[in-house]
Structure 1
Amino acid sequence: MMRTRSLLSAVVVSLLASFAAAQDFPSKPIRLLVGFPPGGSTDVLARVLAQEGRKPLGQEIVVVNRPGASGVIAINEVAAASPDGYTISVSPSSAFTLAHHFMAIRPDLLEATTALMLIGRQRIGIVTHSGSPQRTLKEFVENARKNPGKVSVGIPGLGTKVEVITRAIAMHEKIDLNVVAFQGDAGVITNVLGAHVAAGSFSVGGWATHVRSGAMRLLASFEDDRFDVAPGVPTLVELGYPLTGATIQHLYGPKGLPPAIVRRLVAAFTEASRSQAFIDIATQNGLYDKNPLVGEALDTFLLKDRAANTELVAKLGLGLKKKP
């Protein structure tokens, strides 16, 4: 009986301590991890989110870059962190729902973390440098057909939706593309501009400015619709490919975050995402979504995305054991 009372007392004390901590949250700066180098779309979105989130939270938000493994290094650090709300991160959903098919990592990253809210949609296209003689995706494919294994396409990381769609195009056309993975959009941008790769598949935030300036040329949209920056360029579906590559960017923390801290973070970052500064940066980078998902709706989206990606990878014969 005494032991039962002691256990109950310990539980009550623990709950009260957690409640008190949640009430005082945040009482110190928050770390916002980014699993990619500075300059890419995830980093840009995280930095404006941190900037605009400081006021509603009343604390500094320090952006810390932890590049590597297509964002998984940062995810693992968050998953191992104390569930107190002081270590959170922004990541593309593909790191949770797709990367495990291409890298020897745990497949349950969704279950190891707490999804907080969608903060952007990552829209993707394939581009070449302006000096390329290939002006359309059809011309690019024909060049690759004539030069098997010699035509390279840069992507922002392995295990991404970008990689799957790029390889799916190659399989659909029965061509041998040399897919080169970099750490984030920044590496792809540098190599496309320098003509070190023949093309790059990555998010609109990385290439929109260069397409507008004429330094890059868009060959196709991986989305359901065309891009405003190049309305004359068709989508993959319009070109006859049964493929789309939409993914999201979402904010997450460790598993077991107290509900009060979850509510505090979601409320603060929802306010931040409605600021004009955030809207402007997210729009400029092709990431803005005015209807962010939260809570159960976000969890459902991510679980469905993981199931759909598993089906797509199997259908295409991709993954660790069957890469083309």
Structure 2
Amino acid sequence: MRRGVRGSVVTLVLAVALGLGRMAGAADYPAREIELIVSFPAGGPADTSARIIGPRLAALLGQPVVVVNKPGGGGAVGADYVAKAKPDGYTVYAATNSPLTISPHLTKSLPYKTSDFAPLGAYAVDLGVITTRAGGPARTLEEFVEYARKNPGKLSYGSAGFGTVSFFTMELFKLAYGLDLTHVPFQGTGPVKNAMLGGHVTVATSGFGSLSPLIRSGDLVALVTTAPARVKEFPAVPTMAEKGHSEASLNIWMGLYVPVKTPRPVQDALARALATAARDPAVAGALEKAGMHADYKDAAETQRLLDAESSTVGKVVERLGLQKQ
């Protein structure tokens, strides 16, 4: 009996100690550098927005926040890295929507599940634009569609990878206008821009944040935007919605996530910092200057957005007849 009581006491003491340890760890958070994982290369909206909000998060949290790029697999490499990271709040996923709402419907063997992540919130949106190289066969949407229809299978489009927003947007564009374009995947928006400028692909899409400098310089021609309304900086560029294709109006939005088993107090600390940073006029101004827009949503709103977009994507994938690869 005495041995049983002693064993119970030891078990209770260990349980209390472990609980206090977790509480102390959460109370001391953060105590060191935080990694902000971007699953695409430098030069794209995920990377640019992370580098804008990172310094403000660092100031609020009192520890360095370092952006680390882990590209590959249409965002799967970086997503998997975070999903399998220690859930202690020191590895945060700075994600676009595609690895969480599109890739699961198009990739056979993803190494992660969307349920592996807990959202902290969304903070920015990059409105999409479909572009072609200046000096090419088209200067307007109508000219491009006419030329593509006369040259089926001879033109190509570049994307940031299979299953990304850019891939999905171009597949919707093809469906809307009945075009036969060959897909050429890359590992992010930066390489796609270089391929377009070099004439290696005919057309591509990304956000205005990535492509607007090249549109302003005259190197690229904006054919159409996936924004819900015309973008004030480029009022002559029509929208897919006004052309009768509102279902093709998919945009890139950015959020922060942590491994799902991250302690709630740590999630809350990060979420509070994100809410403050995302509402900072300096952050909003920097995003605007980069061609993006501040668009804060809390964790619950972000989860609803994920669920709704994933449902929509699933239905469109079925309608398009796209097969998992």
Q: TM-score, normalised by structure 2?
A: 0.92
User: 1:72 deviation in Å?
Assistant: 1.4
Distance in 2 (CA, whole Å) between partners of 1:15 and 1:315 is: 50
Q: Secondary structure at the match of 2:195?
A: helix
Matched, 1:109 2:113: yes
Residue in 1 aligned with 2:269?
264
What amino acid does structure 1 have at the position aligned with 2:251?
A
Q: Secondary structure at the match of 2:210?
A: helix
**Match among 255, 269, 285 for residue 250 of structure 1:** 255
**Match among 311, 320, 323 for residue 319 of structure 1:** 323
Residue in 1 aligned with 2:167?
163
Residue in 2 aligned with 1:240?
244
User: 1:266 deviation in Å?
Assistant: 1.4
Matched, 1:275 2:280: yes
Distance in 1 (CA, whole Å) between partners of 2:136 and 2:258 is: 43
Distance in 1 (CA, whole Å) between partners of 2:93 and 2:142 is: 39
User: 1:4 deviation in Å?
Assistant: 5.5
Distance in 1 (CA, whole Å) between partners of 2:11 and 2:312 is: 44
What amino acid does structure 1 have at the position aligned with 2:264?
P
Structure 1: where are the runs of 5+ without partners? none
Distance in 2 (CA, whole Å) between partners of 1:225 and 1:31 is: 36
User: 1:119 deviation in Å?
Assistant: 1.6
Superposition RMSD on alpha carbons, in Å? Answer: 1.9
Residue in 1 aligned with 2:17?
13
Aligned length: 320
Matched, 1:88 2:92: yes
Whether the 8 Å contact between 2:83 and 2:112 is mirrored in structure 1 is no
**Match among 295, 301, 311 for residue 297 of structure 1:** 301
Distance in 2 (CA, whole Å) between partners of 1:164 and 1:65 is: 23
User: 1:36 deviation in Å?
Assistant: 0.8
Structure 2: where are the runs of 5+ without partners? none
In structure 2, the CA distance between the partners of 1:157 and 1:284, relative to structure 1 (3 Å rule), is: farther
Distance in 1 (CA, whole Å) between partners of 2:92 and 2:272 is: 15
What amino acid does structure 2 have at the position aligned with 1:54?
A
Q: Secondary structure at the match of 2:297?
A: coil
Whether the 8 Å contact between 1:121 and 1:289 is mirrored in structure 2 is yes
User: 1:261 deviation in Å?
Assistant: 0.7
Offset from partner CA, 1:48-99 (integer Å, 9 cap, x none): 2212211111111111110111211111111111111001121111211111
Residue in 2 aligned with 1:288?
293
What amino acid does structure 2 have at the position aligned with 1:135?
R
Q: Secondary structure at the match of 1:88?
A: strand
Q: Which stretch of the first structure deviates more once superposed, 312-321 or 201-210? A: 312-321
Distance in 1 (CA, whole Å) between partners of 2:44 and 2:252 is: 15
Distance in 2 (CA, whole Å) between partners of 1:296 and 1:136 is: 40
Q: TM-score, normalised by structure 1?
A: 0.92
Q: Secondary structure at the match of 1:22?
A: helix
Distance in 2 (CA, whole Å) between partners of 1:295 and 1:207 is: 29
Whether the 8 Å contact between 1:98 and 1:160 is mirrored in structure 2 is yes
Matched, 1:125 2:129: yes
Q: Which stretch of the first structure deviates more once superposed, 266-275 or 308-317? A: 266-275
Distance in 2 (CA, whole Å) between partners of 1:319 and 1:5 is: 58
Whether the 8 Å contact between 2:189 and 2:206 is mirrored in structure 1 is yes
Matches within 5 A, 1:138-217: 138-217=142-221
What amino acid does structure 1 have at the position aligned with 2:118?
T
* Structure with greater Cα Rg: 2
Distance in 2 (CA, whole Å) between partners of 1:92 and 1:106 is: 16
Whether the 8 Å contact between 1:224 and 1:244 is mirrored in structure 2 is yes
Distance in 2 (CA, whole Å) between partners of 1:69 and 1:267 is: 31
Q: Secondary structure at the match of 1:293?
A: strand
**Match among 13, 35, 38 for residue 39 of structure 2:** 35
Calculate percent identity across the aligned residue pairs: 32
Distance in 2 (CA, whole Å) between partners of 1:302 and 1:4 is: 45
Distance in 2 (CA, whole Å) between partners of 1:221 and 1:191 is: 20
Residue in 1 aligned with 2:30?
26
Whether the 8 Å contact between 1:36 and 1:43 is mirrored in structure 2 is yes
Matched, 1:73 2:77: yes
